[in-house]
Each structure stands twice: as structure tokens, then as C-alpha cells.
Homo-oligomer: A and B are copies of this chain.
Amino acid sequence: MDDLILHEYAPSGNCYKIRLTAALLGQPIRRVHYDILKGETRTPAFLANVNANGRIPVLQIGARFLPESNAACYWLASGSPLVPVDRFDQADMLRWMFFEQYNHEPNVATLRFWRAFVGEGALSEAQRGQIAGKQAAGEAALALMADELESRDWLVGAGPSLADICLFAYTHVADEGGFDLACWPAIGRWIARIKALPGFVPLQD
């Protein structure tokens, strides 16, 4: 197995997904920290050597670099029980992972970043104009998850998959973005199930 290096900003849920997947699989991973608030992922060296898209996380596998958090989780979990073997279930897992990046992260994670890291006073006018829309869209994403979790323990199949891990990352800290998780008790029960998985590690460690 090649050495694995996670290029990351530790408070990011996108980076945490990868650490959590690796931990659940018992896979050691070395961590290299960048402060995104200081622009450390936009330097010429980072853009040339790690990710031309100027973003973390990036999973380094030997000499190769894999951006996009959910793709990195997929690489780590390939062939493990976290990726269902059934053709429909595997696509359905990816369905939730694309939903996470399209409907959930840009709302739930962005409001957390704006409110808990940048601070509302430091937002641009264009950003402030998006808060109401992102609040509504984030609530809709959480409600959709909660509806699904009313009738099942895990989002896909009979056990935990990357769909659960990837959506857990920003969902369990959604309160930092101004979302009241008490509105969706099914999500609270699902969070407790994930925290009880063998090998679980918290976001801040």
C-alpha cells in the first residue's frame, strides 16, 4: 500500500469525512495542515503541486493527488463494507454523495463557515444576500434526510456506507451554521448510531 497523506484544514467537514472513513477502516493516514483562512491553499506551490483547484482536502496516494472529498472516501473504501456490492445500492450510495455536494454542503456547510469561522460581520453583500436562500435550502436537505431516516437506520442498504459517513460530516455540526437539529429527531438517532461505530473518531481530535 502506498503512503497516504491527507492535505487538509482540520475543522473542515470535507476533510473530516476522509479521516473518519480511514479510521473506520483502520487505515493510518498522515495529515498536513493548511490554514484556508490565511489563503494557504491558493499559493503558487499548492496550485502547482497539490491541487490546481486551490482547495482542500486532497488525498495524496504515493505520488498521485486525488481532490474532492467524496472521491477520496471512495478510493479509501473501495472493496470494503462501506461500499455496497449491489449495483443499485452502489449507485444509490453515490446518489446521496452527489446530493451532499449539491444540496447539502453548499448550504449547511457554507452557513457554518460564514457564521462560525468568517463571522457575519465580515461577509460581503453578495454573501449576505444568499443567507436566507441557503438557510431554506439547508433545511430542505436536512428534512429530506430525516424523511428517509424515519423508516431506516442507514441511508443505503442494511448497514453504514459512505453515504452515511459523507453526510454525517456537516450534518452533526449543522447547529454551528444556525440549523436546529432538534427539529429532526430521526437525524439525532442516526448521528448516535454513527458515533457508536467501532473506530469512530470525532471531528476535533
Interface residue ranges, A against B (CB under 8 Å): 52-53, 61, 64, 66-72, 74-75, 78, 87-88, 90-92, 94-95, 97-99, 101-103, 105-106, 125-126, 129-130, 132-133, 144, 147
Contacts and interface: CB of A to CB of B under 8 A. Distances in A.
Q: Would you call the interface of chain A mostly helix, strand, loop, or mixed?
A: helix
Contacts of A90: 74, 78
A147 B52 contact: yes
A95 B78 contact: no
Contacts of A91: 66, 71-72, 74-75, 78
A61 B91 CA distance: 12
A126 B133 CA distance: 9
A68 B144 contact: no
A99 B53 contact: yes
- Of A69, A75, A94, most B-chain CB atoms within 10 Å: A94
Contacts of A144: 52-53
A53 to B, nearest CB: 6
